Amino acid sequence: MEAVIPRPSSAPSPGVSHRDMANSIRALAMDAVEKANSGHPGMPMGMADVATVLFGRFLKFDPLHPHWPDRDRFVLSAGHGSMLLYALLYLTGYEEMTLDEIKRFRQLGSRTAGHPEYGHADGIETTTGPLGQGLANSVGMAIAERIMAARFGADLVDHRTYVIAGDGCLMEGISHEAISLAGHLKLNKLIVLFDDNHISIDGPTSLAVSDDQLARFRAAGWAAEAVDGQDAEAVAAALGRAQSADRPSLIACRTTIGYGAPKKAGTAAAHGSPLGAEEIAGARAKLGWPYPPFVVPDPILAAWRAIGQRGQPAFEAWQKRHAAHAERAEFDRRIDGDLLAAADLAINAVKKSVSAEAPKLATRQSSLKVIEALAPVLPELVGGSADLTGSNNTKAKDMVPVTSQNYGGTYIYYGVREHGMAAAMNGLALHGGIIPYGGTFLIFTDYCRPAIRLSALMGQRVIYVMTHDSIGQGEDGPTHQPIEHLAALRAMPNLLVFRPADTVETAECWQLALANRKGPSILALTRQALPTLRTQHTDANLCARGAYLLAPAEGKQRVTLIATGSEVSIAVEARAKLQAEGIGAAVVSLPCWQLFDRQPIAYREGVLGADGVRIAIEAAGPFGWERYIGADGGFVGMSGFGASAPGPDLYKHFGITADAAVAAVKERL
């Protein structure tokens, strides 16, 4: 049983040194890794001094109020060093992070997973592990802070984002996109502590990299300096300077990986395996930490708990300001992520007018119509594009850009940084108060995929507006024409992939993406114009069940044509041809596989037609379609890469036509 710790309200207990505090992190890390017989002791042992200074003297946090919106964010981008974070959360008194959890490091169902996982415990601000992602998330968090501060003022929003990143994070390409964007936007409340230990898994970093990181960050518009990361006062002084910088700050902390381990310190051997009994005994002696495994003596723990209480007055003062704030309700609504009813009204108004007017529009334009309708009633919607604003149609006319001069906008020019954009959107969503959406071409989901996967894993409401979704984009050719992307995205758990067929469906899919609070959504949209197929208005969202009968068969149903997006109108055309020959054919629009697969079997069978011929039409690869059409169904789509030519020519060339669908039916009747 843990001793009950009295909670002193002042500074750390006299007699407890910085070294004791840092050593408690080191010991917990090496002991937990040893017990789990797996994990990464080196990074926490090397960065223990830096983390002690950060948490002890700078970080604004309150373990009793871990969701306090104005807390500083701490992101452990070097997620393999998870024990550093778990140790800090335990030591400073986060209720959920008990000593038992530390002892259950890396075990099934524990809060202390191998890498920090968002949602497993309070104080874990984002899921990290894929190197570089945390750093890029932090840029989104820092942008969110500025946007929210511009809107609600410093009384409610005035916090910093701190990151610990390692050599690996800085070697990853995504780091470049992230630091470049942060420098451009002058995110001066973003502070990165670089674990400059010159070691990664393969050995000394000199094997693979010779970047001058300080020069690199400075070139991107950052303040950058190097300190001895084992010298608490030097780290504190650098953090002090970073507090008042007019730009984001990098502090390269020269550390020794596995600090204290007699033989393994400073080597890759300390990176990712248990140190072993002998080395741990040696480390205990060298560090002056004579206590048994998992024991942090009461005075030292009390000193840490005092640090955990340091933020209480700031929290209470914030609570008072919040209680008195005129816009408290709106602030809380945004932080809670609740939608206004006006959003649904706006969606329905779009549906109603377009079903009456029946315009011929590319769904990327349909999406802009929806964004135009939503922007005035959903101010927390923050859009953007990776340099394809005019192509993705992501910017509503009145949206003001977020710039270093004015953070009060709702549109972010992400530049040609798809991966950085996607990861920043995760940070925007995680921060709270913002619903991010961002655009690029669907083909470049490949450039975003690691971050999309984390949106899904973390259950974050991020909306990806991905246009030019097939060979229909035309002349740009096969490098720009998605083939396997829909299948690859559909394979990802907890991601809704929408491919709407017209403006009405686009509005419905937007509505569903906004309502999808526990996961990301992809809107796959066309470059080319499509007819309006839904000309009968209903407030009901027909896309909500994933698929529905768009056009029933006349007479006995012998054929079901199942299509998504731009191919639904081809299915409608094929149906007309079949009906003209007396063959009863129904058209099913299937904008979202994931939602359809959640429906009861009776609904699914009812929609797809229990017997008869099933033909799927989608201008993409066939992977996965067998689940709907069975082994004997027909697939009209792509079997290889596309080509460069006008879109309509490509549809003919690759045989994605109503005639091809009719032929596929006849082969099977």
What residues are annotated to the active site?
Answer: 418
DSSP 93-134: T-TT--HHHHHTTT-TT-S--SS--TTTSTT--S---STTHH
CA distance linking residue 597 with residue 591, whole number of Å = 12
Binding at 271: pick from Mg ion, ligand TPP, none (beta carbon under 5-8 Å per type): ligand TPP
Please tell me whether residue 197 binds Mg ion under the rule CB under 5 A: yes
Of the candidate residues 39, 41, 42, 266, the single one contacting ligand TPP (CB under 6 A): 42
Nearest to 266 by CA among 225, 239, 229, 294: 229
Q: Does the protein bind ligand TPP through residue 440 (CB under 6 A)?
A: no
Q: How far is the CB of 129 from ligand TPP (least distance, A)?
A: 5
Residue 50 or 613: the one with the smaller Cβ distance to ligand TPP is: 50
Residue from 197, 355, 455, 473 touching ligand TPP (CB under 6 A): that is: 197
H helices present in 288-384, as ranges: 298-309, 312-324, 328-336, 341-357, 363-374
Would you give the binding string for ligand TPP spanning residues 483-522, x where CB under 6 A is met? ----------------------------------------
The values of phi and psi at residue 104, to 5°, are -100, 25
Cβ neighbours of residue 130 closer than 8 Å, sequence gap 6 or more: 79, 450, 454
Alpha-helical segments (H) within 480-637: 485-490, 503-515, 568-580, 593-597, 601-608, 626-629
Selected from 63, 134, 168, 433, the binder of ligand TPP by CB under 6 A is 168
196 binds, among Mg ion, ligand TPP, none (CB under 5 to 8 A by kind): none
- Contact status: 42 vs Mg ion (CB under 5 A): no
Of the pair 270, 509, the CB lying nearest ligand TPP is at: 270
Cα–Cα distances (Å) from 114 to 81, 176, 240, 309, 568, in that order, read 9, 26, 32, 28, 45
Residue 129, interface with ligand TPP (CB under 6 A)?
Answer: yes
* Residue showing the smallest CB distance to ligand TPP in the complex: 166
Q: Is 495 helix (H, G, I), strand (E, B) or coil?
A: coil
Restricting to residues 271-310, name those near ligand TPP by CB under 6 A.
Answer: 271
Q: Tell me which of Mg ion, ligand TPP, none is bound by residue 78, counting a contact when its beta carbon lies within the kind-specific cut-off of 5 to 8 angstroms.
A: ligand TPP
Per-residue binding string, ligand TPP, 603-642, x by CB under 6 A, is: ----------------------------------------
Residue pair 219/182 in contact by the 8 Å Cβ criterion: no
Which one of ligand TPP, Mg ion, none is in contact with 201 (Cβ closer than 5 to 8 A by kind)? ligand TPP
What whole-number distance in Å separates Cα of residue 512 and Cα of residue 340? 14
Is 425 within 8 Å of 438 (Cβ atoms)?
yes
**Amino acid (1-letter code) at residue 357:** E
The CB-of-548 to Mg ion minimum distance in angstroms stands at 53
Among residues 126 and 256, whose Cβ is nearest to Mg ion? 256
What is the H or E stretch that residue 563 is in? strand 559-563
Per CB under 6 A, the segment of 196-204, 295-303, 462-470, 632-640 that binds ligand TPP is 196-204
Gap between the Cα atoms of 381 and 391, Å rounded: 19
Name the residue whose CB lies closest to Mg ion: 167
* Contacted by 618, from ligand TPP, Mg ion, none: CB < 5 to 8 Å by type: none
CB 151, min distance to ligand TPP, A = 34
Q: Is the dihedral of CA 492, 414, 438, 435 positive or negative?
A: positive
For residues 187, 449, 458, 104, the Cα torsion angle rounded to the nearest 10 degrees is -100
Q: Which of 112, 138, 200, 230 binds ligand TPP (CB under 6 A)?
A: 200
Contact 29, 84 (CB under 8 A): yes
Q: Which is nearer to ligand TPP, 42 or 519 (CB)?
A: 42
H or E stretch including 194? strand 190-196
In this chain, which of 50, 78, 425, 592 binds ligand TPP, going by CB under 6 A?
78
Site for Mg ion in 132-191 (CB under 5 A): 166-167
Residue numbers 570-629 binding Mg ion by CB under 5 A:
none
What is the chain's Cα-based Rg?
28
- Binding to Mg ion (CB under 5 A) within 200-259 occurs at 200
Cα gap 44→27, rounded to integer Å: 9
Does 167 interact with ligand TPP (rule: CB under 6 A)? Answer: yes
Site residues (CB under 5 A) for Mg ion? 166-167, 197, 199-200
Site residues (CB under 6 A) for ligand TPP? 42-43, 78, 80-81, 129-131, 166-169, 172, 195, 197, 199-201, 257, 271
